[in-house]
Structure 1
Amino acid sequence: MGDKKMGIFPVGASLIASFVSAISILGTGPEIYLYGTQYWNIVISYGFVILVANYFYLPVFYNLKLTSTYEYLEKRFHRNLRLAGSFTFTIQMVFYLGIVLYAPCLALNQVTGISITASILTAGLVCTFYTSIGGIKAVMWTDAFQIIVMVLGLIIVVIRGVYVVGGVKTIWERSYEGARLQKIDFNFDPFERYTFWTLTIGGFFTWLAIYGVNQAKVQRCLSCPTLRKSQWAMWTNFPCLVIIISLCCYSGLVMYAHFYNCDPILSHQVKSADQMLPLFVLEVINYPGLPGIFISALFCGGMSTMSSGVNALAAVSLEDGIKMFIYPNINETKGAIASKILVAIYGLMVIGVAFISSYLGGVLQTALSIFGMIGGPLLGLFTLGMFFPCANSWGSFLGWIFGMVFSFWIGIGATINKQTFPKLKLRIDGCSNYNRSSFNSFNSTNSFVTSHYNTIFSKPIPKVYQLSYLYFSTLATLSVVIIGLIISLLTRNKNHYVDPILISPPIRILMSWFSKSRTYFLEDAKSQNIKLDKITTKNS
């Protein structure tokens, strides 16, 4: 916990760097390039995420003085739920961090020709080494440095790109002609990939699962000396996130203005959209050293997220594994040694997952889908405990099981029955050194061709699997809460009491208005002279 002496700056910078990774840098620009500016509206959800996470979730964790966020589930419900939450968090983070490590290595391969295998091994081992040696203090201070390098790299790419393309006016004109500049789509259809509601509602639940209850985020906030400083550190994220995501989105428009008449995917200059930004850097930033700053920015993003993740994984395994089952009274020295070993183990696991990440599709959608499928049920579990005093252990457990099954059914089904969303039209008529014989089937008078991935499937995809991937977290969270409440009401016990420190402060205020409620807080139990040994937070 960094001795609970970390300041606002390193904590705030580490919070940003923890999940703004090479995935955001490499994946966001191509999203704009291929689908238009609709995705840019996701920044609207960030403000609501920070607000809710800061005042509804963070005070509960901070006041309980926890190390692992999943200790809350034991205090509120049952020990088994704590173990279940820790296990699913571990699976989620290992897979996510594997994608995070793979992304910059893919870019380095595109720019320098260095093999992806060598890049993964080098970056993964270096990151594992300094994380195990330095602990959370090293992680947060390196994160603070790395976020500066990330922003510097993005600014260099955007400024140089604007200059080479011919100015901001040229970028907007070409983007407008190519239909990349889009009006906000207020369509309520959840099966459209991106609409205003998909990005605000779906984006809200997806990112709330990260900022509200994810161990990597909460652990950093708890390292501040006071709750107020933790909240200020969290608030610094909002403007920084908006700036970074906006730079990433604008880089997509700059790329389109540069490649507007010679798409690198159709002309086979790159194999996937995730390689477009490195190619753009090679063609545009031709000053010695500047491409290296861009690659440094990507690796800073990847390594800062990986270091935060494996540090959080080690903390959870130490608290919820070793201290619970192997060595309950472990001292600080041996605990530090155990943490270093755990970091090394998780670092190697992440390296292993990185090798299979190339088969998972686009890095941005894959990463957010993983958080939706696993993070959504966890968010629902914590929400059930903090927002609904009537929820009990039976309701929470069965609600979580239903949410996980439902979430994976939708997520895996959508992956197997992969839907191809229509990309905006691309051009190849400006490719001077490209052999167009493979495109003889197209009308030579039509300079626009459709992206080669817009495939017509031989069999229809079930409608449920066509749901926008951003809604995975939303549905998972709501299903846990709804099923959990129904089961809790069916198995309710009139002697069900909850310590108020386990309930979100705004909800405590709201519940104080309902003095005749069947569910009582601990103070109510004391006022009725009920023996304290009968009050438990593990009842069903």
Structure 2
Amino acid sequence: MKMKYFFSILLFFIISATHAENHYLKFSSFPELPPNTGYFIQPGLAGPYSGVDDDVLIVAGGANFPDKVPWEGGTKVYYNEIFLLQKNGDAYSWKKSEAKIPFAAGYGGAVSTPAGLFCFGGNTSNECISESWFINYIPETGAVEITSGPQLPVPLTNFAFAKVDNTIFVAGGISEPGGTSKKIFLSLDISNATPDEWKWESLPEWEGPPRAFSIAAAQSNGVTNCFYLFSGRNIKQNGEVEILYDAHVYNPLIKQWSLISDGKNKEFPVMAGTAFPVGASTIAFSSGANGELMLKQMGIEKHIEELKAADKNETVDSELAKVQQKLLSHLENHPGFGNKVIGFNTLTNKTFELATLPETGQVTTTAVQWGNDFIIPSGEIRPGIRTPKILKIQVVKDAKHLSLLDIVVIGLYFLVLSWMGYFFSKRQKDTNDYFKGGGRIPWWAAGLSIFGTALSAITFMAIPAKTFATDWSYFTLNMTIFLVAPVIIFLFIPFFRKLNVTTAYEYLENRFNLTIRLIGSLSFIVYQIGRMGVVLFLPSIALNVVTGIDIFLCIALMGIVALVYTMMGGIEAVIWTDVMQVIVLLGGAILSLSLIILKIDGGFSSIVETAAANHKFNVFDLTLSLKQPTVWVMLLGGIFANITTYGTDQTMVQRYLTTKTQKEANQSVWTNAILTIPATIIFFFVGTALFAFYKAFPTELNSTFSNNDAIFPWYIASQLPAGISGLLIAGIFAAAMSSLSSSMNSAATAYSTDIHFRFGWSKNTKPLKLARIATFIVGISGTLFAFMMATMDIQSLWDEFQKVLGLVIGSLGGVFLLGILSKKANSKGVLVGIFISIMIQILVATYQPVHLIMYSATGVLSCFVTGWTASWFFKE
């Protein structure tokens, strides 16, 4: 009866927490910009310096035609005033600051920094400027301070700019009024807290023509954040104007430009527009001019100049009047700059229609991020016509409703898991049953459990996400298990089986001393709590994206269900749920892959062609570098990571001890290794197939992902039939919970055996009861850590998992290897090795001299070498 109530509450939370949104962008408005001093009406400002400082929106400078439109003889006026939009609860109001910017200017750049809104470049009514300044809002007084900043190398206006991490990049522009477009690329590192030390640097330019009035945005390319440059126009020496539709990307990590599009197909008609990043891999263009009407206007104006220069006669005068009327009609009837928001995915390099603006787009302004929203302040809506409107764009997290059938399937899956815990609880007579399954586990089930623990939700979601975003560079990493399996079988398993230990760390006391055993066991427990946070948080993202269920509620539900059946069923329940989840996940991946192949025109061959054309099958990068995911990094990092995982990780060692014989333990290791081949190929190809699918159907991709780890669950929920999608989503949760249960049980084993029972604490408490209490505490700790991770900005959970693996337990592999391989190693030397290894790992994490996959290798090697060396100076 209690179980029934539990699942009734579970289904109620799932159903009541779901919601759906129909659009990725939601539009609204802030109060309109107030008039400048001396005017009663604000027609709007083009080219203002806009940004946010101390949660206040700042709009400064800019230009407009306050009296008449330009074709009626209106004069363009520049301003130096500063407007502040302040929050007061849910209300917003404008305030005009008494402070002024140093120039009546506009069309420069503005970026929010800790030192204030950093404004640079632009032009006045008669000159381009190179100066920069900070607008610093002081919340205590409401006043504004203006201080000077680093000067640009050259005067510059109408350039593209964006902040990528802690660096501002500037591309193109014009250096003198009426001048030509420039090919110039600058950077400014603003990571130093002291602006006096900031200095502009010149960088190599892109391959392509000079440009002004182009657009820039910062977004990830799947590996690192990059500077993207789009469109613009090339104003030549003879006055001829070339409209550009191309796109380029600069990668600050490798300091190289790449061509995205040569512009022949006019994918980016966004000159002088605005752009901002959405989610993990989308750039949204909320406005922009395609240049066709501008060229038409320039053609009319050129014709007028030719007629004016011609000899006067009745025919010329008549033609001149007609052409002037044509120009007037063109200007007065200009339709504006469109209302379609174009999306561009930086991974598939595809453009698509993202949304529709409520009114025409605003150009010659910038998109400003304010909290989680983007603001388009004022700007130009037609040639010579501004708007005082302040557009607010809210990014809406889209979610797909699960059908009732899907929800029932998920509920039944959870029910089966809990029933398995109840079933195996009847067989738990003592801690030997609870921690080692009484030696009753068949080798094939132990092998599938080893494979399932390594598979987990991390493999199911993060591997396809990684190959979707990058390529097959990580393929070699998974294959290194074949190099490590013989080492585990001939070196580690015999030690653990002959000693008849419950945990791997009992051996460390036998070989060295109690202190090293405690260090190893405690390191493992800390690592497992961190691992639980990752494997809980990852599927929570999936459920949040797919159904809209709150991510914290999702973490709590999975943590509690996993805790329930692990506390009841012990290692037997853990292993048999692993067996079930391996079947479901591999079957689900194969089914999804088959449906993608059927959906894409050309099927399998088309996917292969698309992937090959986009360099998705890069496996062996032979570059001699330890900072990039080269084949050397994959081999070295994979070998040491697998030695650490399969040789010293209690979750794996515990399974070697659940079989009847050593031979069966060896067979379980080979079962895992052999299954790794098809599983790796399947999951890597799923990511590649997803890339081909979303390149063919770009509008089907959810643009609001905060990272790409939810890409596969999104496909499952949005493309698969009802019931099937529910089963696969349930499989993801089961995979996560099986990994959780492994971590809970093994960490509880380590605590109970290496600490509690070792010191004889609580002799009045039954060992089995103590084991369940330890499982409960570990499970709650891992769940709380997942809550903490949910508040962090994490681009790739695969990367985070590798960091946890390498940094927390990297030295443990070195300790075990010292004990097994070296007779000279002793406890004092090993302690020195552990200490030095920790120091080296901290330095590695801080300065990142090697790729994160190498963190395990640096931990193992540093501990082994320094521990062995130090042992020569001590005698035991």
TM-score interval, smaller chain: 0.7 to 0.9
Change (3 A) 1:11 1:266: closer
CA distance in 1, matches of 2:562, 2:774: 14
3-state SS, counterpart of residue 308 of structure 1: helix
Once the two structures are TM-superposed, the CA of residue 245 in structure 1 deviates from its matched residue by: 2.2
Q: What's the TM-score once normalised by structure 1's chain length? A: 0.78
Q: Give runs of aligned pairs for residues 55-454 of structure 1, distance below 5 A.
A: 55-166=490-601, 167-182=603-618, 184-192=620-628, 194-260=629-695, 268-285=703-720, 287-327=721-761, 334-358=766-790, 359=792, 360-411=794-845, 413=846
Does residue 27 (structure 1) correspond to residue 462 (structure 2)? The answer is: yes
Aligned residue type for 1:276:
I
Change (3 A) 1:404 1:171: same
Tell me the equivalent position of 2:291.
Answer: none
Q: Show CA shifts across 1:24-56 (max 9, x none).
A: 111111211222122222232110121211111
CA distance in 2, matches of 1:317, 1:173: 52
Aligned residue type for 1:178:
N
Q: Residue 542 of structure 2 contacts residue 710 of structure 2 at CA under 8 Å; is this kept in 1?
A: yes
Q: Residue 265 of structure 1 contacts residue 272 of structure 1 at CA under 8 Å; is this kept in 2?
A: no
3-state SS, counterpart of residue 16 of structure 1: helix
More strand, by proportion = 2
Of 289-298 and 83-92, more deviation after overlay is shown by: 289-298
CA distance in 1, matches of 2:699, 2:826: 55
CA distance in 2, matches of 1:179, 1:487: 47
Once the two structures are TM-superposed, the CA of residue 262 in structure 1 deviates from its matched residue by: 6.5
3-state SS, counterpart of residue 621 of structure 2: coil
Tell me the equivalent position of 1:481.
Answer: 864
Q: Residue 444 of structure 2 contacts residue 667 of structure 2 at CA under 8 Å; is this kept in 1?
A: no
CA distance in 2, matches of 1:44, 1:200: 9
Q: Residue 150 of structure 1 contacts residue 300 of structure 1 at CA under 8 Å; is this kept in 2?
A: no
Once the two structures are TM-superposed, the CA of residue 265 in structure 1 deviates from its matched residue by: 11
Aligned residue type for 1:304:
S
Q: Show CA shifts across 1:201-229 (max 9, x none).
A: 11111122111110010011111111111
What 5-or-longer segments of structure 1 have no aligned partner?
A: 414-463, 494-539
Instruction: Let me know the Cα RMSD of the aligned residues.
Output: 1.8
Once the two structures are TM-superposed, the CA of residue 357 in structure 1 deviates from its matched residue by: 2.0
CA distance in 2, matches of 1:235, 1:111: 36
Q: Residue 149 of structure 1 contacts residue 300 of structure 1 at CA under 8 Å; is this kept in 2?
A: no
Once the two structures are TM-superposed, the CA of residue 327 in structure 1 deviates from its matched residue by: 3.1
Q: Show CA shifts across 1:390-423 (max 9, x none).
A: 1011111110111122113322x1xxxxxxxxxx
Once the two structures are TM-superposed, the CA of residue 466 in structure 1 deviates from its matched residue by: 4.4
Tell me the equivalent position of 2:471.
Answer: 36
3-state SS, counterpart of residue 824 of structure 2: coil
Change (3 A) 1:329 1:386: farther
* Structure number with higher relative contact order (C-alpha < 8 Å, ≥ 6 residues apart): 1
Change (3 A) 1:328 1:337: closer
Once the two structures are TM-superposed, the CA of residue 132 in structure 1 deviates from its matched residue by: 0.5
Change (3 A) 1:357 1:265: farther
3-state SS, counterpart of residue 260 of structure 1: helix
Q: Show CA shifts across 1:46-76 (max 9, x none).
A: 1012121111111111110001111111111
Q: Residue 438 of structure 2 contacts residue 658 of structure 2 at CA under 8 Å; is this kept in 1?
A: yes
CA distance in 2, matches of 1:222, 1:3: 9
Tell me the equivalent position of 2:448.
Answer: 13
Tell me the equivalent position of 1:524.
Answer: none
Change (3 A) 1:122 1:183: closer
Does residue 2 (structure 1) correspond to residue 437 (structure 2)? The answer is: yes
CA distance in 2, matches of 1:161, 1:374: 39
What 5-or-longer segments of structure 2 have no aligned partner?
A: 1-435
Change (3 A) 1:334 1:467: same
Q: What's the TM-score once normalised by structure 2's chain length? A: 0.49
CA distance in 2, matches of 1:186, 1:52: 26
Once the two structures are TM-superposed, the CA of residue 173 in structure 1 deviates from its matched residue by: 1.0
Change (3 A) 1:466 1:403: closer
Identity of aligned residues (%): 26
Tell me the equivalent position of 1:472.
Answer: 855
**Number of residue-to-residue matches in the alignment:** 438
Aligned residue type for 1:469:
L
Change (3 A) 1:264 1:220: farther
CA distance in 2, matches of 1:297, 1:154: 11
Q: Residue 457 of structure 2 contacts residue 538 of structure 2 at CA under 8 Å; is this kept in 1?
A: yes
Q: Residue 149 of structure 1 contacts residue 296 of structure 1 at CA under 8 Å; is this kept in 2?
A: no
Of 106-115 and 227-236, more deviation after overlay is shown by: 106-115
3-state SS, counterpart of residue 872 of structure 2: helix
More helix, by proportion = 1
Aligned residue type for 1:234:
V
Tell me the equivalent position of 1:515.
Answer: none
Of 178-187 and 59-68, more deviation after overlay is shown by: 178-187
Q: Residue 264 of structure 1 contacts residue 276 of structure 1 at CA under 8 Å; is this kept in 2?
A: no
CA distance in 1, matches of 2:767, 2:656: 21
Q: Residue 210 of structure 1 contacts residue 375 of structure 1 at CA under 8 Å; is this kept in 2?
A: no
CA distance in 2, matches of 1:264, 1:379: 47
3-state SS, counterpart of residue 627 of structure 2: coil
3-state SS, counterpart of residue 236 of structure 1: helix
CA distance in 2, matches of 1:264, 1:108: 21
CA distance in 2, matches of 1:323, 1:187: 51
Q: Show CA shifts across 1:133-180 (max 9, x none).
A: 111111111111121111112112111111112311010111122221
CA distance in 1, matches of 2:739, 2:605: 36
CA distance in 2, matches of 1:361, 1:211: 27
CA distance in 2, matches of 1:182, 1:345: 44
Q: Residue 265 of structure 1 contacts residue 271 of structure 1 at CA under 8 Å; is this kept in 2?
A: no
Q: Show CA shifts across 1:307-342 (max 9, x none).
A: 011000111111111112243867xx8111101111
Q: Residue 206 of structure 1 contacts residue 375 of structure 1 at CA under 8 Å; is this kept in 2?
A: no
3-state SS, counterpart of residue 225 of structure 1: coil
CA distance in 2, matches of 1:468, 1:309: 26
Once the two structures are TM-superposed, the CA of residue 183 in structure 1 deviates from its matched residue by: 5.1
